[in-house]
Amino acid sequence: MAEPKKVTITALTELRAKGGKKIPVGKTTEVLESTANILVKNKQAEIVKG
């Protein structure tokens, strides 16, 4: 089975990543594409263009 696709996002609001780590505004982190879609829709993050 294929691994779920991950994408890199930039935080537009402070995020709480896996393991409790904080991602400050403007910093990037890697999340599942489905997670990124929710955060982008909520204007909480934007996907980093490759």
Sheet of strand 6-11: strand arrangement: 28-32, 6-11, 45-47
CB of 13 to other proteins, least distance (A): 5
Helices (H), ranges, the chain:
33-41
Q: Does 44 bind other proteins (CB under 8 A)?
A: yes
- Of 13, 27, 28, 48, the one binding other proteins (CB under 8 A) is 13
Q: Does 38 bind other proteins (CB under 8 A)?
A: yes
Cβ neighbours around 31 below 10 Å, total? 20
- Of 18, 27, 33, 48, the one binding other proteins (CB under 8 A) is 18
